[in-house]
Amino acid sequence: MSYLFTSESVSEGHPDKIADQISDALIDNFLAFDSESKVACETLVTTGQVILAGEVKSKTYLDVQQIARDVIKKIGYTKSEYMFEANSCGILSAIHEQSQDINQGVDRTTKEEQGAGDQGMMFGYATNETENYMPLALDLSHALLIELANLRRENSEITYLRPDAKSQVTLEYSDDNKPQRIDAIVISTQHDDFDEESAMLSKIKSDLISILIPRIKAKYPQYAHLFNDQITYHINPTGKFVIGGPHGDTGLTGRKIIVDTYGGKGAHGGGAFSGKDPSKVDRSAAYATRHIAKNLVAAGIADEILVQVSYAIGVAKPTSINVVTYGTSKVNLTDGEISKKVETIFDMRPYFIEQRLKLRNPIYSETAAYGHMGRTPETVTKTFKTPNGEERAVTVELFTWEKLDFVDKVKAAFGL
């Protein structure tokens, strides 16, 4: 029997995502000038106010207030009527030095024996239902908001959009787990004030269906067949959405971990990513397990794979590695036997994850909106400045955990 599955996304202007982007901008700036920086930085945003808190061990000094303002400006909070504006918001920093008790469990005389920055379990997931091996409902939810943000910045076809937005896509699946069609789309977008509310609602719904949806179908032709005349659209279902962003809701780092990962598919260990340097396995091991799952599926091991890894704080070797194929395995091995082979292919000690995926580089700002997984790897040059005028240009690889660079090794190990 067919069934429905739903995933959601939020825009870069959503309060929680503002917080994530500020935290990750701080990470990038610290790593740009000191690649060994240890950082755990949380951000809170509310009406006219940003609060930074956390622990840092680094050789560099940064103007954290200016970094936060630059992020807010880039997102689009540049007008006083938003009640949260880049140049005028107050910024309080309560960042202090990292605990030596934690640091002694991470740093080792031999780098290879670097301990995990915390205990816990992390998950990576991949499915072959999309070209980027991501769950389709989440991929579509992200795509809707990326294109909505493009429309906002173009300010031509739709001129009233503000930065805060959410999306949600419900798919109908066949009983053999194949996506058949889009059943429902929910979009709530912040907007400028209108003179008349009913006319406002009508125009926003009409614009999003007649302008946004065709752009999605054109930009993502692989999804065009899923759109149909029976889709139920809920566009700004509560009505007026003028008060938004941090003025409408307080935002905090790490509150959108399902949006950041797999939209409810697979599993999640509970740890957030943004604001953490890669010694924190909440982040680095989650990337590494995604890398494993994606390469396994791409190699033809299974149609769908979930990888779990777990750690003890201060201990390098994982306490467990487990692979689940959901009964879709294409090889004549049990999931337990697949797990043992994976251990021989991918070294999951924290230092080796950092080296394999090049995680001690300033690559994190780009992850902080529209998902950490399923993105396109690319090489870019980024420029950073310190308060004393020092400038550094750094060429980095983004989204290294999305590379299919282990497919041949996996095939060889499994005799494919």
pLDDT given for residue 100 in this prediction = 66
- Residues sharing a CB contact under 8 Å with residue 229, sequence separation 6 or more, in sequence order: none
Residue 121: count other Cβ atoms within 10 Å of its Cβ. 22
Q: Which of 245, 279, 310 is the last residue of a domain?
A: 245
CA dihedral 18, 24, 25, 30 (to 10 degrees): 150
Give residue 28's pLDDT.
98
pTM: 0.96
Low-confidence stretches of the chain (pLDDT beneath 70): 99-109
Same domain membership, residue 271 and residue 170: no
Q: How many CB atoms within 10 Å of residue 55?
A: 16
- Does 389 share its domain with 304? yes
The answer to whether the beta carbons of residues 296 and 126 sit under 8 Å apart is: yes
CA nearest neighbour of 149 among 168, 169, 165, 167: 165
Long-range contact pairs involving 200-208 (C-beta distance under 8 Å, separation at least 24): 200/240, 201/235, 201/236, 201/239, 204/160, 204/235, 204/236, 205/233, 205/235, 205/236, 207/157, 207/158, 208/148, 208/233, 208/235
Residue 41 lies in a domain: yes
Q: Going by DSSP bridges, is the β-strand pair 49-57/38-46 parallel, antiparallel, or unpaired?
A: antiparallel
The secondary structure element, H or E, covering residue 380 is strand 378-385
Asked if 308 and 320 touch (Cβ cutoff 8 Å), the reply is: yes
Full residue range of the structural domain in which residue 34 is found: 15-107
**Number of structural domains, the chain?**
3
Predicted local distance difference test score (pLDDT) of residue 158 = 97
Binding residues for ATP: 14, 164-166, 240-241, 249, 255-256, 272, 276
> Are 222 and 266 part of one and the same domain?
no
User: Does the residue 113 lie in any domain?
Assistant: no
What's the one-letter identity of residue 385? K
Domain co-membership, 399 together with 265: yes
- Indicate which CATH number applies to the domain containing 74: 3.30.300.10
Question: Is there a domain that residue 356 lies in?
Answer: yes
Annotated binding site for L-methionine: 55, 98, 249, 280
Select from 223, 245, 267 the last residue of a domain: 245
In a domain, 115, yes or no: no
Binding site residues for Mg(2+), as ranges? 16
Nearest to 162 by CA among 43, 12, 366, 7: 12
Which of 218, 245, 272 corresponds to the end of one domain? 245
**296 plus 191 within the same structural domain:** no
Same domain, 347 and 364: yes
- Which parts are annotated binding residues? 14, 16, 42, 55, 98, 164-166, 240-241, 249, 255-256, 272, 276, 280
Output the pLDDT for position 185: 98
Give residues with Cβ within 8 angstroms of 92, minimum separation 6. Answer: 49, 50, 51, 52
Sign of CA dihedral 340, 346, 352, 358: negative
Q: Which residues contact 249 (CB under 8 A, 6 or more apart)?
A: 15
The pLDDT, as a whole number, for residue 108 is 56
Same-domain pairing of 7 and 154: yes
Q: How many CA atoms lie within 13 A of 196 on its CB side?
A: 4
Does 124 share its domain with 268? Answer: yes
Domain assignment of residue 218, yes or no = yes
- Judge whether 250 lies within some domain: no
Residues 231, 260 within the same domain: no
Residues 273 and 382 placed together within one structural domain of the fold: yes
Distances 353 to 123, 253, 315, 347 between C-alpha atoms, Å = 14, 24, 14, 7
Same domain as 233, residue 274: no
What's residue 110's pLDDT? Answer: 75
In a domain, 101, yes or no: yes
298 and 397 in a single domain? The answer is yes
Dihedral of CA 141/142/145/147: which sign? Answer: negative
Residue 112 lies in a domain: no
Annotated binding site for K(+): 42
